[in-house]
Amino acid sequence: MHFIRRPSWALKESAVTPEHLALNRRGFLRGAAALSATAIPGAAAAQGNFLGKLFGQADVSQYLDFPPFEPKPALNPEYADAGREVTAERINATYNNFYEFGTSKTIYAEAQVLPTDGWTVTIDGMVEEAKTIAFEDLLKAVQIEERVVRHRCVEGWSMVAPWIGFPITELNKLVKPLSGAKYLRFESFDKPEVASGQRSRTSPWPYTEGVTIEEAQNELSFLVVGAYGKVLHKQFGAPIRLHLPWKYGFKSIKSIERITFTDERPVSYWEELQAREYGFWANVNPEVAHPRWSQATERVIGEVEQRIPTVIYNGYGEQVASLYAGLEAKYADRLWR
Ligand X SMILES: Nc1nc2c(c(=O)[nH]1)N[C@H]1C(S)=C(S)[C@@H](COP(=O)(O)O)O[C@H]1N2
99 binds Mo ion (CB under 5 A): no
Sign for the CA dihedral angle at 310, 88, 20, 4 comes to: negative
99 binds ligand X (CB under 6 A): yes
250 binds Mo ion (CB under 5 A): yes
44 binds ligand X (CB under 6 A): no
Residue span binding ligand X (CB under 6 A) among the ranges 25-33, 66-74, 122-130, 244-252:
244-252
Sign for the CA dihedral angle at 66, 246, 81, 12 comes to: negative
Going along 126-272, which residue ranges are E strands? 131-134, 145-152, 157-167, 183-188, 208-212, 222-227, 230-231, 241-243, 256-262
158 binds ligand X (CB under 6 A): no
Q: For residues 120 and 134, is the Cβ–Cβ distance under 8 A?
A: yes
By beta-carbon proximity to ligand X, the closer residue of 99 and 166 is: 99
153 binds Mo ion (CB under 5 A): yes
Residue span binding ligand X (CB under 6 A) among the ranges 125-133, 162-170, 247-255, 317-325:
247-255
Name which of Mo ion, ligand X, none residue 226 binds, using a CB cut-off of 5 to 8 Å depending on partner kind: none
Residue in 106, 255, 268, 297 binding ligand X, rule: CB under 6 A: 255
19 binds ligand X (CB under 6 A): yes
Instruction: Identify the DSSP state of 6.
Output: P
| DSSP secondary structure string for all residues of 212-237 | EHHHHTSTT-EEEEEETTEEPPGGGT
Residue span binding ligand X (CB under 6 A) among the ranges 54-62, 97-105, 123-131, 137-145:
97-105
Nearest CA to 65 out of 233, 260, 190, 210 is that of 233
d(CA 26, CA 29): 8
Residue numbers at the binding site for Mo ion (CB under 5 A): 97, 153, 249-250
Residue numbers at the binding site for ligand X (CB under 6 A): 19, 96-100, 151, 153, 188, 207, 236-237, 249-250, 252-255
